[in-house]
Amino acid sequence: MTLDHVGAFLYPEHEVLRIVGRIAFPLFSYLLVLGAESTRSIRAYLLRLLVFAALSQLPYSLVNGYAPLEVFNIFFTLAFGLLFLVNSLFLIPLLLLSMVVQFDYGVYGVLLIACLRLLRERTTWGVVAYVAYSLLLLTVYTIQHYQLLALPLILLHHTGYISKARVVEGPTAYPAWRKYLFYLYYPAHLTLLYLIHVGL
């Protein structure tokens, strides 16, 4: 993600940074699917995503050169995706909403999350859907089909090769600071990139 944003905002001439960055959103989407499966409270998970969506909106808008509410950041995409994971009937209204309200990755993001949930439930069909969807993007996004690079990593985790059992001690598997550090990283690194971009 950071390499992608460095390429987008500081070194747009180095397309390889953007290509490597295509791995990020599929991994975030896969982690969202895992989180929906394991969270103790979907409501708390959704609220957390929305809180950090609000915190991230200003730096996201500044670094992209958007008006404050012109395009909504990726946390909103993930929040919409979580609603779909809770109830697949949300998919149609979410897709309709994404056509009216612009947010990062838009319709593409919600559909990718749907592909990854299918992969978790029926691996073969999920892989077919993911690959077909990635190739379909060749007609829409110039480099987004490079999201195929994320598929081996996702499958390695899904099949157990790079996953490990977590021992839960106390109310959470991780200390709270560690969990929130990853959420805070997104608005923090966007703020830093904006300051570098404007020369501060």
Q: Which helix or strand (DSSP H or E) is residue 56 part of?
A: helix 42-64
The pLDDT assigned to 176 comes to: 67
Q: What is the domain range of residue 86?
A: 2-197
The pLDDT assigned to 101 comes to: 84
Type of residue at 24: A
The pLDDT assigned to 152 comes to: 94
Low-confidence ranges of the chain (pLDDT < 70): 163-177, 200
Structural domains of the chain, count: 1
The pLDDT assigned to 169 comes to: 53
Taking the complete model, does pTM exceed 0.75, yes or no?
Answer: yes
